Structure 1
């Protein structure tokens, strides 16, 4: 998979997942999720765009935090929501 040099990587910092047990909003709402994404700006854990409520994408849009990383075991890829590309 090709990656790009992305200026949004400047906002990436070491983060602690705020809800390591699952999507922050889905845990509160008792909603199911498919896969999880970790915001690399603030540590928000949200569900992916294949999940019913798409909390990771909503968080990126409302908070302006562009880069997420897969929060699935064994995965480490990163995605820029602004450029819609792997980084």
Structure 2
């Protein structure tokens, strides 16, 4: 079994439509990322809390996929590079009507100043 196939499980659905930790704490996100191994949805590294990377570091799950509409790229934290990957279990993106940043109602008016470069 290849390292890539060990890091990607195409049968696992996403954990929800938003960042698990941000939803639990009332936080907000810029963009969403999906763990390719377990389906955990976390916020991107530009987001204030960077939960997708924290999840990868805590679990050892090294591959994420964008959870943004129209994006299907994968990222491998082990190599710090994009990679090609298979189609994951549906849904493969957050709902089209979900705000970006999101979720609506929790994003501060000065959100651009709170993003990580």
Tell me if both proteins adopt one fold, taking TM over 0.5 as the criterion: yes
Which residue does the alignment assign to 1:18? 15
User: What is the Cα deviation at residue 83 of structure 1?
Assistant: 0.8
- Paired with 1:8 and 1:85, the residues of 2 have a C-alpha distance of 14
Segments of structure 2 that go 5 or more residues without pairing to the other structure are 84-117
State TM-score, norm by structure 1.
0.87
Does residue 10 of structure 2 align to residue 8 of structure 1? no
- Structure 1 runs, 4 residues or longer, greater than 4 Å off: none
**Residue aligned with 1:26, SS:** helix
User: Alignment length, in residue pairs?
Assistant: 80
User: What is the Cα deviation at residue 29 of structure 1?
Assistant: 0.7
User: What is the Cα deviation at residue 9 of structure 1?
Assistant: 1.2
Q: RMSD over aligned Cα, in angstroms? A: 0.9
- Paired with 1:10 and 1:24, the residues of 2 have a C-alpha distance of 24
**Residue aligned with 1:22, SS:** coil
Which residue does the alignment assign to 2:46? 50
User: What is the Cα deviation at residue 8 of structure 1?
Assistant: 3.4
- Paired with 2:44 and 2:3, the residues of 1 have a C-alpha distance of 20
Does residue 63 of structure 2 align to residue 63 of structure 1? no
Partners of 1:8 and 1:67 within 8 A in 2:
no
